[in-house]
Amino acid sequence: MLKDLDISRRGLLGRLGAAAAMVSLPIKARAADAVKVGWTTDTEQSILGNITALVLEKKLGIPVERVANLGGTGIAHQSIITGAIDIYPDYTGDALANVLKLSPITDPEKAWQAVKDGYAKDYKITWLKPTPFNNTYALALKEATAAKLNMTTISSLEPKAPDWKLGCSVEFAGRPVDGYPGMAKHYGFKFGTVKPMDVGLMYTAVDSGDVDVIVAFATDARIGKVGLRVMQDDKLFFPSYNAAITVRDDIVKAHPDIAAAVEAVTNTLTTPVQIKLNGRADIDGVPPETVAEDYLKELKII
């Protein structure tokens, strides 16, 4: 069974071998002066990573090496603390539960402060200021079904849950703190069937009726496309998942202008903005690097 540290909300660890090899590569064998920006296979992380890389390259003139398709939180965390990468877009909820092993914190500012302090103390990694958007988990079902049954909260799912199928990521199914086991305990009910699957397939599954409810992500544009109603987390189980760019302290010291330059962009990433950016990639098929570049040009950053 995978250790908690090796489980991320979005990324699978199928690329463990390649990523592990990258981690073990001696730093001196890599581009000596380039700042290494890494991200996982997730669309949103790809956009955030590319935004950061482009700001460094085109705004600040800093050479960048891109390290894409890291497997998950465990691999990415190990990569940044060993220096295999220097910068990584992370999420407060992931860091709290799976790295620092702290209890979930629902207040976004308090969650960010906790991970900022913990990483500074334990890992010499700086958390830049968080994004306005909070990409937390979101239980969702078809709007027509929700309207017919007058369902608006997670608690309102309880009467139907024993007969319903829940579609979710493999990570959510097994994560004890902020995943299905924790949620079931917190809310006091379980679904009749839990079907772990690729995140992208969840939307097809709920749209076709293969599952009744899915565990989506709040900034996923496919929620609107498929016509889902998001259930309110009325018992405040899910922690905050604001994104933030994390940077090794030695890189911050070497390039003190990184924080202000990157935060000038991430501060604009509200929920509607991030949904739009994710939608361009996930729905319109625009490469994440193009989405990132177009957005920076729109802001006149580059």
List the CATH code of the domain at 4-134+241-298.
3.40.190.10
**CA–CA separation, 123 and 82 (whole Å):** 10
- Over its C-alpha atoms, the chain yields an Rg (Å, rounded) of 19
Q: CA 184, 175, 108: angle at the middle one, nearest 5? A: 85
**CA–CA separation, 238 and 186 (whole Å):** 10
Q: Considering Cα of 285, then 132, then 45, then 265, what sign does the dihedral take?
A: positive
pLDDT tens digits for 289-299? Answer: 999 999 999 99
**Which residues in the chain show pLDDT less than 70?**
1-32
pLDDT tens digits for 237-259? Answer: 998 999 999 999 999 999 999 99
CATH 3.40.190.120 location in the chain: 137-230
pLDDT at 178: 84
Q: CA 76, 78, 80: angle at the middle one, nearest 5? A: 70
pLDDT tens digits for 165-212? Answer: 999 998 899 888 889 999 999 999 999 999 999 888 999 999 999 999
Say what the pTM is: 0.83
3.40.190.120, 3.30.1280.10, 3.30.465.10, 1.10.260.40: CATH of 137-230: 3.40.190.120
Backbone angles phi, psi at 258, to 5 degrees: -60, -45
**CA–CA separation, 70 and 18 (whole Å):** 9
Q: CA 151, 157, 161: angle at the middle one, nearest 5? A: 145
pLDDT at 9: 53
Residue 91, helix vs strand vs coil: strand
**CA–CA separation, 153 and 158 (whole Å):** 10
Instruction: Please report which residue ranges of the chain form alpha helices under DSSP H.
Output: 16-24, 43-54, 73-82, 92-94, 108-122, 143-149, 170-174, 180-187, 199-208, 222-226, 249-254, 258-266, 271-282, 288-298
* Residue 156 CB coordination number (10 Å): 16
pLDDT at 34: 96
